Amino acid sequence: AVQLVESGGGLVQPKESLKISCAASGFTFSNAAMYWVRQAPGKGLEWVARIRTKPNNYATYYADSVKGRFTISRDDSKSMVYLQMDNLKTEDTAMYYCTAWLDYWGQGVMVTVSS
Amino acid sequence: DVVMTQTPVSLSVAIGQPASISCKSSQSLVGTSGKTYLNWLLQRPGQSPKRLIYLVSKLDSGIPDRFSGSGSETDFTLKISRVEADDLGVYYCLQGTHFPQTFGGGTKLELK
């Protein structure tokens, strides 16, 4: 079965950095476009970042709200995807979900940005 | 970006009764391949989203046939023929035709 397990969330102060990770299994990871989607408390779903596969040169894309601050990456040898978050803002507080093709979703990891 | 508008925002339904949710996109979701990349997700309370339907009307494995999806171009509908307690939560439509992929605002299905 497809499994996506996020880790690395926590409480950080504004302007600090945090890196969250996602371990994938149950499918051919190297063939999957991977995404990070977030959900602020009580709000809807917001696409954050996307990384394509090796044949697509691992192209990356970002929502305007995080462009220049967040970096998505992947390690196909480990079936892992990462989100490096720099210069965090209070409005980045959310549950962050790792998803494969936006079809399969992890359980999420909470990131809280507060002073 | 393509705007996905879901209605109603909330829906109160008795067990055993039908339910219907509408999703309208600001532009056609028919892709260059001729396929329409419109999915429906369900987020149960305290859980992560789960895909129910893809390509407008195809049910994911394990999804009961009480659920059905229909529509074309810019207008789409999710129907539940007989609501069960396990169906409660927030339903989202998601378009994957145009970059960036965008979600509807969600429809909360509650028990009457």
pLDDT score for A51: 97
Q: Could you give the percent of chain A with pLDDT greater than 90? A: 98
β-strand partners of A97: A37
pLDDT score for A95: 98
Q: Which of B1, B2, B9, B48 to mutate to test the interface with A (most CBs of A within 10 A)?
A: B48
Q: Could you give the percent of chain B with pLDDT greater than 90? A: 97
Q: Give the separation between CA A85 and CA A69, rounded to whole angstroms.
A: 6
pLDDT score for B80: 98
Q: In this complex, is the C-beta atom of B66 within 8 Å of any C-beta atom belonging to chain A? A: no
pLDDT score for B105: 97
Q: In this complex, is the C-beta atom of B2 within 8 Å of any C-beta atom belonging to chain A? A: no
pLDDT score for A76: 98
Contacts of B23 in chain A (CB under 8 A): none
Q: End-to-end CA distance of chain A: give it in Å, rounded.
A: 40
Chain B residue with minimum CA distance to A110: B48
Chain A residue with minimum CA distance to B108: A44
pLDDT score for B3: 97
> Taking CB atoms and an 8 Å limit, are A103 and B105 in contact across chains?
no
pLDDT score for B7: 97
pLDDT score for B110: 96
Q: Which residue has the higher pLDDT, A102 or B59?
A: B59
Residue type at A25 in one-letter notation: S
The mean pLDDT value of chain B amounts to 96
Measured CA to CA in angstroms, residue A78 lies from A6, A21, A97, B87, B112 at distances of: 14, 11, 19, 36, 47
> Taking CB atoms and an 8 Å limit, are B92 and A44 in contact across chains?
yes
Q: Which of A38, A64, A66, A103 to mutate to test the interface with B (most CBs of B within 10 A)?
A: A103
Average pLDDT over residues A36-63: 96
Banded pLDDT at B33 (limits 50, 70, 90): very high
Concatenating the DSSP letter of every residue in B2-67 gives: --EEEE-SEEEE-TTS-EEEEEEESS--B-TTS-B-EEEEEE-TTS--EEEEETTTEEPTT--TTE
CB contact at 8 A, A21 and A8:
yes
Contacts of A103 in chain B (CB under 8 A): 39, 51, 54
Average pLDDT over residues A96-111: 96
Average pLDDT over residues B21-50: 96
pLDDT in tens, B58-102: 999 999 999 999 999 999 999 999 999 999 999 999 999 999 999
Residue type at A37 in one-letter notation: V
Exposed, middle or buried by CB within 10 Å (0-12, 13-18, 19+), for A84? Answer: middle
Question: Looking at CA atoms only, how far is residue A34 from chain B in angstroms?
Answer: 13
Banded pLDDT at B38 (limits 50, 70, 90): very high
Contacts of B47 in chain A (CB under 8 A): 107
Q: In this complex, is the C-beta atom of B61 within 8 Å of any C-beta atom belonging to chain A? A: no
Banded pLDDT at A89 (limits 50, 70, 90): very high
Banded pLDDT at B18 (limits 50, 70, 90): very high
pLDDT score for A54: 97
